[in-house]
Every structure is written in C-alpha cells, then in structure tokens.
Amino acid sequence: MMTFAEEYKLLQSLIEDALPGYFWESKGAPDKTSEAALYSLMAGGKRFRPVLLLAVGKVLGVPINELMPYACAVEMIHTYSLVHDDLPCMDNDTLRRGQPTCHVKYSEAIALLAGDALLNRAYHLLFNECARHGEEKYIIAAMYLAKMAGYDGMIGGQTMDILSEGIPLDNDTLRLLQRKKTGALLQAAALIPVVLSERDELSEKFAEYSGHLGLAFQIKDDILDAASTGEKMGKTAGKDAKAEKATHVSLYGIGRAEMILEGEFRAAHKALLNLGGKGLDVQFLMGLNQYLLTREN
C-alpha cells in the first residue's frame, strides 16, 4: 500500500507526463508563444488542482483516461491565470514557481499571448472530449469548468481583488472574493469527476467539501505570504501587505487567520467523513486536506 506522499507523487508525475502532449495540437515548430506557455506550464507547481480531480475521480471509479484531459485543462487554465496575474498591469511579479515570471523571461506581449494560448488550448481540449464522447455529461463538465474559470468564478474573484486594494473588506465580502478567486477552480476540479461519474446525489457534499477546501487553500496562502520566504515558496513573499490587499491576515492577524483555517479544515474533514459514510474511500482526500494545512509553498 502506498503512503500519501507516494500516491501524490505518482499522480503528479502522471500529470507532468501528460501535460506537454495535451498542450501540443500539431507537431509544427514551436514559436515563441508556445515556448513561453510551456515554460510556465512545465515549471513545477504543486499540481494540486489536477491531483484533486484525479483523486476524486478515482474515489468515484471514473477511468483515468477520461479524467486526464479535464485535469490537464484545469492546470492549463490555472497556469494562464498565474501568467496573467504576474503581468505588470496586475500583480507585477518577477518570480513564479521558482523561476523568473513569463513576462520577465519573454516580454509582456509574449506572456499575454502565452496565457491566451494556454486558455485556448484548454478549451480546445475540452471541446475535443465533448466531440470524442458525444455524451451530455462531458459537455456539462466542460461548461462547469468554463463557468468556474469565468466571471462567476476566478475572473470575478480577481476583479473583486483588484478593485478592493487599499479598501478594508468585511468578512463576508472577503470570503466571497476568495471563494471565487481561488475556490472556484478547486471546486471545479472536485466536481468535474462527480459529473463524469453521474453520481448527482453526491454533488452537494462534494461542493461543500471543496468549498471549504478552496477557502482553506487561500487562507493558507494568505498566511504563507505574510510569514514565509520567497525562497521557500518559489514566488515573492510579503506582497499582500505591500499592495494593501484584504486578506485573512490583514483583517485578523496571523493567529486568528490560523484559527479560521483550522475551522475550514475541520468543515472539509467533516464533509469527507460524511462521504466516507456513504461507502467511498476518502483516505487520500483526507491526506490532501492535511497536505494543504502543512504545505510550505
């Protein structure tokens, strides 16, 4: 039997191996934009979202060859958001995944295009799955991802984030912002396999679980930004305070942010226990919760 760390590594390496193949549509010579897109896509990263997608899919018995295109599309969308978020017109950052950001390495124009290329390739992949299977559930899963990545989800959260710089937010607004900016894509990763498994009766519990997981992920990010170092994280630390961003740390301080994180962790754990009670093997998902609490980057 594999340990949690071994299983995480295995899923990570399956994703690492699959990503370049899913990125290339044709075998033409790479241009600067595709080179830049791959530079960011293949720069490491935890692969937390696709690992979560594969793990939930395994719990529900969805074949890995059906999950993998969706897992890679999620990671491409996530990577595009990081590339664009690092641009001078957004967070203006120079370090990501332990290496110079895409625009520092390739220029602003190429980084913008590289992000666009990743996003478009993700949707191309999703359309391909819909056409290949010709069944409604594949379309519903793709539409759900599009919704969660768009203004109802990640882009909406990023908009709130940008417009609220320098403005102290109330608790509900902060939670909504973080649920959209970070939680929406994590929620999509957890719910796509539920759609593909056609276990609709489980959607609500998986939504509850991943909602808490997403918030916990971002609160941990708030804490790491305030308390860790760029070296450990592979990205610039201390940025939130500089940009006067509303975070759980700026609003409540690190001590209380840790307590709120613990509360989200417990709520995610409880939702998993409930799913376990329905006969699902949620052991690895429990491990993912723990990983998220103790992660250093």
Q: What is the dihedral of CA 226, 227, 231, 234, to 10 degrees?
A: -50
155, 176, 267, 286: which one contacts ligand GRG (CB under 6 A)?
Answer: 155
Q: CA separation (Å) from 99 to 31, 137, 141, 228, 235?
A: 21, 38, 33, 17, 8
Q: Which residue is nearest to ligand GRG (CB)?
A: 45
Please say whether the beta carbons of 150 and 180 come within 8 A: no
Which residues are bridge partners to 99 per DSSP?
A: 96
Is 272 one of the binding residues for ligand GRG (CB under 6 A)?
Answer: no
Is 181 one of the binding residues for ligand GRG (CB under 6 A)?
Answer: yes
Is 175 one of the binding residues for ligand GRG (CB under 6 A)?
Answer: no
Quote the least distance from Cβ 103 to ligand GRG, whole Å: 13
Closest CA to 212 of 189, 255, 192, 183: 183
Which residues are bridge partners to 100 per DSSP?
A: 95
Is 154 one of the binding residues for ligand GRG (CB under 6 A)?
Answer: yes
- Piece of the chain touching ligand GRG by CB under 6 A; list 26-34, 127-135, 152-160, 195-203: 152-160
The one-letter amino acid code at 69 reads P
Q: Give CA–CA dist 34/82, Å, rounded.
A: 16
Q: Annotate each residue in 89-128 with x if it binds ligand GRG (CB under 6 A) or - if it does not, as one string.
A: -x------x-------------------------------
Quote the least distance from Cβ 292 to ligand GRG, whole Å: 10
Number of residues forming the site for ligand GRG (CB under 6 A): 17
Within 34-63, the residues that bind ligand GRG by CB under 6 A are: 45-46, 48
Residue 68's contacts (CB-CB under 8 Å, 6 or more residues apart) are 14, 15, 18, 22, 54
11, 60, 62, 82: which one contacts ligand GRG (CB under 6 A)?
Answer: 82
Is 179 one of the binding residues for ligand GRG (CB under 6 A)?
Answer: no
And the tokens for 86? 């690092």
Q: Give CA–CA dist 100/40, Å, rounded.
A: 9
Q: Of 196 and 292, which CB lies nearer to ligand GRG in the complex structure?
A: 292
Is 84 one of the binding residues for ligand GRG (CB under 6 A)?
Answer: yes
Is 221 one of the binding residues for ligand GRG (CB under 6 A)?
Answer: yes
**Number of neighbours of residue 152 by Cβ within 10 angstroms:** 13
Please give the residue ranges that form the binding site for ligand GRG (CB under 6 A).
Answer: 45-46, 48, 78, 81-82, 84-85, 90, 97, 154-155, 158, 181-182, 218, 221
